[in-house]
Structure 1
């Protein structure tokens, strides 16, 4: 086995993205949502994900887009899918990067997942209507 990456570079991000989505495409919980959403456009999606993670991890500014809007359009996504996504992401990065770098990447991934979950599933009006019924 190769030594784990000791730095974050665009080439290492490319390896991370391709390894991670290789796992996603085989995962029993996630593969259908991803394959149904992406279809035959995996190559452009992987290129976009490389630009996204380069922007997140290297502040390269390569990614121009809105992840929230992109995820809001996905049909069939459920809140618990994010837990599995994070598990596979951590597994991938533990395999590829030294532990301190893997942990740094995971913190950013967890923040992104949290933000997407809040945007997609948090509905304060549901809390308000439940509270007003209990008065």
Structure 2
């Protein structure tokens, strides 16, 4: 039996391995090229870890607006429905390969909700 997510360290593990998948995917890497080029990947991973830590453990560390960040990116590099499908798939695969339990379920559920809200707010639909 796999453990449930129980700490920020577990979240950082998920985010790091999730990004390992994103950064080698030809469809996804364009969204991260600037972060990588500016040597900001580790900072980005810490920020995303803070975001998920706030969601799962009711902390108040994340200080940004996640929607606004993605809307800014979408202004010059358009998100498509396929990008959200890839994102959710890699995210779920990473969680499922390493964790199970209530927090793992909550993390996947919230990821699905976030993806849906982003698609709606950015008017991203299958055409």
TM-score category, normalised to shorter length: 0.7 to 0.9
Greater relative contact order, per chain length (Cα 8 Å cut-off, separation 6+): 2
Please give the alpha-carbon distance, in whole angstroms, between the structure 2 residues aligned to 1:67 and 1:47: 14
Deviation sequence 1:17-45 (CA, Å, 0-9, x none): 11111111011211122224553210110
Number of residue equivalences: 120
Is contact 1:86-1:109 (8 Å) kept?
yes
Is contact 1:17-1:49 (8 Å) kept?
yes
Q: Against the structure 1 CA distance between its residues 13 and 31, is the aligned structure 2 distance closer, same or farther, given a 3 Å change threshold? A: same
Report the aligned-residue RMSD.
1.8
Unmatched 5+ residue regions in structure 1? Answer: 123-135
Is contact 1:79-1:121 (8 Å) kept?
no
Unmatched 5+ residue regions in structure 2? Answer: none
Deviation sequence 1:92-124 (CA, Å, 0-9, x none): 0001102554332111100111111111126xx
Which residue number corresponds to residue 76 of structure 1? Answer: 77
